Amino acid sequence: MFTVLFTNRYRAHDRQPPWLIVEPESRAALAIENVLSRLGWSVLGPITDPDNALPLARQHRLSGAVLDLNAEPERVYPVAEMLARRRIPFVFITGGGREEVREDFRDRPSLPKSFLMERLRPLLRGLAVAYA
C-alpha cells in the first residue's frame, strides 16, 4: 500500500492535469515540486518508488513527469516507456550526465542531479509547449 499525494490544490476536475514526480530524495522532490508550483502547475506525488509510479502513469491524465533515473533505473524505465507510449512529456534527472540515460531515451531531455532549479523551469516550460 502506498499514499499518493495531490499537492498544490490538484483536483480531478482541474482543466490541466498534474505533473508526476518520481524522486526518492525528499529534498530534491520538494525542490522539483516548488518549481512546478511556481509555474502554476499541480503535482501528483512525489512518488518515491518507481514501481508505484507505473500504475499512476498508466491510469492518470498527466501534463508531464520528472523522473529520477537514479531511483533504480531499471524500475524507472517502465514508467518512461509508458509515458512515451501515451505521448506524455518527461525529463530525466540523473546523478551523472546524458551517458547514464539508456540509448533509446537519449533524445529525451535530462539534467544532472546537481542541476540548478533555474535550468529546470525553462526546460519544463518548453516541454509543456512542445506537447500542447
What is the tens place of the pLDDT at every residue in 13-62?
A: 567 899 999 999 888 899 899 889 988 999 999 999 999 999 999 999 99
The whole model's pTM is what? 0.82
**Terminus-to-terminus CA distance in the chain, angstroms?**
34
Task: Indicate whether 9 belongs to any domain.
Answer: no
Task: Indicate whether 38 belongs to any domain.
Answer: yes
130: exposed, middle or buried (Cβ count in 10 Å: 0-12, 13-18, 19+): exposed
What is the tens place of the pLDDT at every residue in 73-131?
A: 688 999 999 999 999 999 999 877 778 899 999 999 988 877 766 788 888 888 888 77
Task: Indicate whether 10 belongs to any domain.
Answer: no
Task: Indicate whether 86 belongs to any domain.
Answer: yes
Q: Rg of the chain's alpha carbons, rounded to an integer?
A: 13
Task: Indicate whether 16 belongs to any domain.
Answer: no
Look up the domain containing 69 and give its range.
Answer: 22-130
Task: Indicate whether 15 belongs to any domain.
Answer: no
What CATH number is attached to the domain comprising 49? 3.40.50.2300
CA atoms within 13 A on the CB side of 75: 15
Task: Indicate whether 11 belongs to any domain.
Answer: no
Q: Containing H/E element for 55?
A: helix 50-59
- Residues contacting 102, CB < 8 A, separation 6+: 73, 77
| Domains held by the chain: number | 1
